[in-house]
Amino acid sequence: MGASSDSGAQTPAVVTRFAPSPTGFLHIGGARTALFNYLFARHHGGQFQLRIEDTDRARSTEPAIAAIIDGLTWLDFEWDGEIVHQFARAPRHAQVANHLLVNGHAYRCYATAEELETMRAEQRAAKLPMRYDGRWRDRTDGPDGAPFVIRLKAPQTGSVTIDDLVQGPVTVANAELDDMVLLRSDGTPTYMLAVVVDDHDMGVTHVIRGDDHLNNAFRQLALIRAMNWPEPQYAHIPLIHGADGAKLSKRHGALGVDAYRDEMGLLPEAVENYLLRLGWGHGDDEIISRAQAIAWFDLKDVGRGPSRFDMKKLESVNGQYLRAADDARLVTLIEPRVATALGRAITDSDRNTLQCSMAELKKRASNLNDLASGALFFLRTRPIPMDDGATKLLASAPPGVLADARTQFAGINDWSTAALEERARALAETRGLKLGQVAQPLRAAVTGSSQSPGLFEVMAILGREETLGRIDDALDTMPAQGAN
C-alpha cells in the first residue's frame, strides 16, 4: 500500500476493519465487534480487514497478537488482505501531522505535563469541564529546542452531527471538544491520529466499533475534515454487559475466546450465533447459519442499548449446535479431554466406541466437557468405578435380578439392542417386576452410574464380553444375597 493511497482505482463499495489493540486477549466483546464488521462487509460483498493497533509499545505483546489471530481463525472470521500493523506506519502518521502543521490546521504546543496538570486541577476546582485551553493555539513563539506536541487546530464554534448507522444522528457542539494531541513530544502518533490515517489509507468506508468510541468520532471527524478526506460512515455498537448490568469483567465472561473454546468447550458456530443475537435480532429467528446471517445482517437492526451476557443461553445455543454437529467431528474434539481424564492415549477402538455412542451422548451434553465426561464410562477398564447413585442402586436391587439378567444375556446369540431389551422385559415379567427394577441395577453395573444413555444401546455398543464382565464385577462386590 502506498504512502497516500488516494487512488482507489477499484475501491470496493464497502470496506470494514476490526482494529484490536494487542494488550490483552481477544475478548468476547471484541469478537462481537469483529463479527459485525465481518458480516456487514460480506453482506455488501465488500472487504473485511484486520489492523493491529500496537502503537502502545509498552502494553502491546506478541502473544496478544497471536491470541487475536487465533481467536478470529477459530471463529472463522476470514479477513481480506494483509494484516496492518499500526506501529509500522508511524512515519506516515507523522507525515500527516506535519502536513497539517504546514497548512495551518495544526500547531505546536509547548505546554508541559505539569503545566497541564495544574490547568486541569484548576478546572476541576472551578467545576469546569476539563479540556486543553488552547494556550498555544495562536502562538508561534515556542522556546527553541524545547519539546512540543502537535495539536489539531479544531473548529471552536458550530457543531458536528454524525449520522451514526446504529445510534442515529448525534450532534455535539465543537465547543465541547478541545485541540487533541496528534503527535507526541517524542514524535510518535497518538491513537486518534493513527486511526484516522490508517482508516483513510486502508480505504475504510464503514467504521463499526464499540460505542465507547462515539465521543472520539467527533474529534476524528475534525481531523478528517482538516485533511479534506472522505468521511466514513460510523456505526457505534453498544458494549456487552455482565449479568448484573455492570461492565463486563472477568467474572462475567470477558475472557479470551480461547477460554470459551478450551475451558468451556464451546463450538465456534454456537459462540458466533449467540454473539449475533446479542443486540441484534431478525424476527423470531434464534438459530441462524453463517449464510443466513450474512444475508440478513443490517446495522439498522442493532440495538442501541447495552445487552447483558447470559451464559445459560450461550450453553443452550451450544447444546443445539452440538446435537446438530457431525459425530466424527465431535469425536475428534473431545479426544484430548477424554485422554486426559483417562490418563492414557485414545486407541482406534476407543474412537470407534465414541463414534458409535456419539448420537446418544450428544443429546445429554451442552458442551464438550460434558460430552467428554459423559463418554468416559464407555472407555474405562474393568472394574469400572461406581458412583454413589450406582452403589445405592446395586444395594437395593431385588435379590438375584442381576445374576438372572446375566444368565439371560449370556444366552443371547444376536447381541443387539432389541434382543437385550426383550430379555430384560421378559425377566421383569416373570419376576413380577417393573422394567426399571431390572434396568436400574443393570445400569449401575454397566455404566457405574444411575444416569446414562439408553441401557440397551450402551450394552450393545459395549459388546457381549465387556457387558457380561461388568455385570460379573458388580456381582462380585455385592454382599451374598440370600442365594435363591
Partner RNA sequence: AGUCCCUUCGUCUAGCGGUCUAGGACGUCGCCCUUUCACGGCGAAAACACGGGUUCGAUUCCCGUAGGGAUCACCA
User: Of residues 192-231, which lie at the interface with RNA (CB under 7 A)?
Assistant: 192, 194, 211-216
Taking CB under 7 A as the rule, does residue 323 contact RNA?
A: yes
Number of neighbours of residue 275 by Cβ within 10 angstroms: 24
Nearer to RNA, 186 or 465 (CB): 186
Alpha-carbon dihedral sign for residues 359, 364, 370, 373: negative
Instruction: Give SS3 for 48.
Output: strand
Nearer to RNA, 15 or 276 (CB): 276
Q: Which of the ranges 290-298, 300-308, 347-355, 474-482 carries the binding residues for RNA, by CB under 7 A?
A: 300-308
CB 282 within 8 A of CB 298: no
The Cα 301–Cα 296 span in angstroms is 10
The Cα 47–Cα 64 span in angstroms is 24
Q: Which residue in the list 127, 247, 250, 300 is annotated as catalytic?
A: 250
Taking CB under 7 A as the rule, does residue 174 contact RNA?
A: no
Nearer to RNA, 231 or 301 (CB): 301
Amino acid at 152: L
Nearer to RNA, 316 or 391 (CB): 316
**CA-to-CA separations, 392 to 42, 403, 405, 442, in angstroms, rounded:** 57, 17, 18, 12
Restricting to residues 374-413, name those near RNA by CB under 7 A.
Answer: none
Give strand ranges (E) for 264-422.
307-308
Active site residue 250: yes
Q: Which of the ranges 163-171, 222-230, 260-268, 333-341 carries the binding residues for RNA, by CB under 7 A?
A: 163-171
> Which of residues 10, 140, 171, 413 is near RNA by CB under 7 A?
171
Q: Which of the ranges 4-12, 94-102, 401-409, 428-436 carries the binding residues for RNA, by CB under 7 A?
A: 428-436
CB 445 within 8 A of CB 472: no
Instruction: Give SS3 for 335.
Output: helix
Q: Which of the ranges 37-45, 92-100, 379-387, 446-454 carries the binding residues for RNA, by CB under 7 A?
A: 446-454
Restricting to residues 39-58, name those near RNA by CB under 7 A.
Answer: 53, 55-56
The Cα 322–Cα 305 span in angstroms is 30
C-alpha grid cell, residue 254: 470477558
The Cα 204–Cα 231 span in angstroms is 9
> Which of residues 82, 141, 186, 476 is near RNA by CB under 7 A?
186
CB 461 within 8 A of CB 353: yes
Shortest CB 129 distance to RNA, Å? 4
Nearer to RNA, 222 or 278 (CB): 278
Number of neighbours of residue 380 by Cβ within 10 angstroms: 14
**Total interface residues for RNA by CB under 7 A:** 88
> Which residue in the block uniquely carries the three cell numbers 458466533?
272
Shortest CB 480 distance to RNA, Å? 26
Restricting to residues 70-99, name those near RNA by CB under 7 A.
Answer: 86
Restricting to residues 238-297, name those near RNA by CB under 7 A.
Answer: 238-239, 241, 243, 245-247, 277-281, 283-284, 286
The residues that are catalytic are 250
